[in-house]
Structure 1
């Protein structure tokens, strides 16, 4: 019987790993717990960037050239918004807009985010379970040299240019794990942390109290896939953020950040390994489906070694 795999993930990099796992693990045995600290409302619509990136990637709908949104997108809505003097710093494509409108309608009808996501996944024939970390609102804010900024203003509007000196996760203390999250952790044969930004994508997940407690009492090994390749992040501000927080940009720093939760780490071949921790090496660049399959296999093999 195939191992039951639960993966904690953010957006683009994490979605690539989940896509690789989907090639190996039957849908009934694969669960992705996704960061919702990036979620916000725009034009009155609820946006879930990391969840939507995962949905589009696994459904084969993602825009590969842009790295976000839907393939074959058109932009008539945004052009009309701009012509009326509306904010155009966060692009919503015409096809992408459908997802947000339907989520708005479902939320207004009383559906929690976990139920809405389950419906989208089912509609697109995705066999795995995709769970938001919580149905309760959690918002990532960054304190910068330009003041306190909500995450999307920092990430999209300001393109990560402000220097960050602290991160705040608003609402995390009061949040509860979404239905199915704790059960997925308890039932897992292995738990993986995707190569997502540890501070901006994974920390919001770990900040949900009941979720973290479930991880602390788990029986399964927990393996992180490093987001660093040659001391740099493949995508996003991980390395820049680490430097601004006064941290060395190394796998050792990331391992120490996860602390006792972590049993092992998969690092890019040739990169310095963390000391005092089990590890394996692989080419962790995931540009193609074959790459993603390779990295998923390597992460699962490392976890399996810990259980023997």
Structure 2
């Protein structure tokens, strides 16, 4: 076991990432450890009605601040939609994409700062100043690398339209992040990984949440060179996705919806991948040998984040897998 509290980096996106971030923060606070650094997916970002939305960053920001809508899993608690209704009356925006009034305030503040010349990294820092978050939020990159979905008929649409409007019912054959090959990790990302004792992959969608983070040039190499362990948490329990449509995303890239298959997708750091250990659910204990076979150490643990205590227990299990 590590003799001092660990310095932790978490790669995250979506609701699963938000819940896991809360668990990691709680686990580290009990150990009097440094605040974790959260490297967050920005592939979900989109321009809408003249403002820049960063859904995954905002979900994690609101969760850490304790102002998120836990019932919906996104947005602000107790939000209203007067402005959204007015936009729809004007025929502006997307009628199937809800912008809450409080949420829109965040988007307006962000857009104003971006127009003033601040980077998304600096904007995330300014947004974080409002509440005592107990964590540092970093976007994966300051470049705009929105996710686009290539459909079976050859057409393309923004990820938000495919995910929110069509609920992933249109068959995808690929996911693209135009411009990502020329992007760079956001300021502080590589340094945080190089100085970490543990890197944790949240149980987020491996294709459209974690995938874009890993595809930013330099991040995958940084993980392979990280001084401490890299531990992932499976987003698949009992052969099913916990939330969202990750199974559709996995199928599109030819990966089975199983904890072992996702471990194989990430790969072993002992080979050409990024993982040292992989947490799988008790329901998937029979897959441990298949995970071990790809060179990743399987760790069986309860993965359901049903409440704050369960999320903290999961974070502690991930830290234990890294030797802390």
Task: Sort the TM-score into its range (normalised by shorter chain).
Answer: over 0.9
**Aligned length, in residue pairs:** 305
Q: Which residue of structure 1 lines up, in the alignment, with residue 282 of structure 2?
A: 269
The 5 A counterparts of 1:139-158 are 139-145=146-152, 147-158=155-166
The 5 A counterparts of 1:198-217 are 198-217=206-225
TM-score for both structures, normalised by structure 2: 0.91
- Choose from 218, 238, 246 the match for 1:238: 246
The 5 A counterparts of 1:5-84 are 5-26=8-29, 28-84=34-90
Does 266-275 or 60-69 show the bigger shift? 266-275
- Choose from 166, 172, 176 the match for 1:164: 172
Which whole-Å CA distance do the structure 1 matches of 2:251 and 2:113 have between them? Answer: 41
Which whole-Å CA distance do the structure 1 matches of 2:191 and 2:255 have between them? Answer: 34
Offset at 1:114?
0.6
Offset at 1:84?
2.1
Q: Secondary structure at the match of 2:27?
A: coil
Offset at 1:245?
3.5
Cα deviations across residues 19-59 of structure 1 (Å, max 9, x unaligned)?
Answer: 00111214734110000011110001000000000001110
- Choose from 110, 122, 143 the match for 2:117: 110
Partners of 1:28 and 1:129 within 8 A in 2? no
Offset at 1:127?
2.7
Q: Secondary structure at the match of 2:127?
A: helix
Structure 1: runs of 5 or more not aligned? none
The runs of at least 4 aligned residues of structure 1 exceeding 6 Å deviation read: none
Q: Which residue of structure 2 lines up, in the alignment, with residue 119 of structure 1?
A: 126
Q: Which residue of structure 1 lines up, in the alignment, with residue 270 of structure 2?
A: none
Offset at 1:301?
0.6
- Choose from 291, 303, 312 the match for 1:293: 312
Which whole-Å CA distance do the structure 2 matches of 1:278 and 1:118 have between them? Answer: 36
Which whole-Å CA distance do the structure 1 matches of 2:310 and 2:66 have between them? Answer: 16
Q: Which residue of structure 2 lines up, in the alignment, with residue 137 of structure 1?
A: 144
Q: Secondary structure at the match of 1:153?
A: helix
Q: Secondary structure at the match of 2:174?
A: strand
Q: Secondary structure at the match of 2:156?
A: strand
Cα deviations across residues 67-97 of structure 1 (Å, max 9, x unaligned)?
Answer: 1101001010111122222332211001101
Structure 2: runs of 5 or more not aligned? 268-272
Partners of 2:83 and 2:100 within 8 A in 1? yes
Q: Which residue of structure 2 lines up, in the alignment, with residue 192 of structure 1?
A: 200
Partners of 1:228 and 1:251 within 8 A in 2? yes
Q: Secondary structure at the match of 1:224?
A: strand
- Choose from 301, 304, 308 the match for 2:323: 304
Partners of 1:2 and 1:29 within 8 A in 2? no
Which whole-Å CA distance do the structure 1 matches of 2:317 and 2:216 have between them? Answer: 28
Which whole-Å CA distance do the structure 2 matches of 1:205 and 1:164 have between them? Answer: 20
Which whole-Å CA distance do the structure 2 matches of 1:98 and 1:238 have between them? Answer: 30
2:95 is the counterpart of 1:88: yes
Which whole-Å CA distance do the structure 2 matches of 1:5 and 1:267 have between them? Answer: 20
Partners of 1:279 and 1:302 within 8 A in 2? no
Cα deviations across residues 151-209 of structure 1 (Å, max 9, x unaligned)?
Answer: 11111121111111111121111111111101100011010100001111111001111
- Choose from 265, 273, 279 the match for 1:257: 265
Offset at 1:142?
1.2
